[in-house]
Amino acid sequence: MSKTTIIYIEPKIYDEAMQITDHLRQGNPVVINLKHLDPPDDERLINFVSGAAFGIDGHMLQVGENIYLFTPSNIIISDEEDTTSLR
C-alpha cells in the first residue's frame, strides 16, 4: 500500500498559490492555514487553489476558521454523519 503525504502550508504571500497547486497536481492533499495572509489575498489564494482543484476533479473543505483542506480526485472528503463526498 502506498503512503500519502499531507502537505501543511501557512502561506505568507499570494504567490505561494502556485506551489500549493503543484502539490495538489502531484496527488498530495494540502491543508492551508491562512493566518498570515491579509484580505483580499487570502480570498484570491483560495479561489486560485479551488480552480486548480476543480480542474483536476479534486475536492475542497473548509475545516476551520481560515483553514482549508484540498485533495486530489483519488482522495474523497467524507462527512462522518453523511457518507456522501463533499465538494
The answer to whether residue 81 is domain-embedded is no
Total structural domains within the chain: 1
- pTM over the 0.85 mark: yes
CATH number at residue 51: 3.30.110.150
pLDDT greater than 50 at residue 83: no
Distance, C-alpha 84 to centroid of its chain: 19
Residue 17's pLDDT band, with cuts at 50, 70 and 90, is very high
Residue 42's domain comprises: 7-71
Which tens digit of pLDDT belongs to each residue from 52-63?
999 999 999 999
Across the range 4-33, mean pLDDT stands at: 97
Whether pLDDT at 64 is above 70: yes
Domain assignment present for 24: yes
Nearest-angstrom CA–CA distance, 48 and 18:
9
Whether 47 is covered by a domain: the verdict is yes
pLDDT score at 44: 97
Counting residues of the chain whose pLDDT is more than 70, the rounded percentage is 92
Q: Concatenated DSSP letters for 20-74?
A: HHHHHHTT--EEEE-TTPPTTHHHHHHHHHHHHHHHTT-EEEEEETTEEEEE-TT
d(CA 27, CA 64): 23
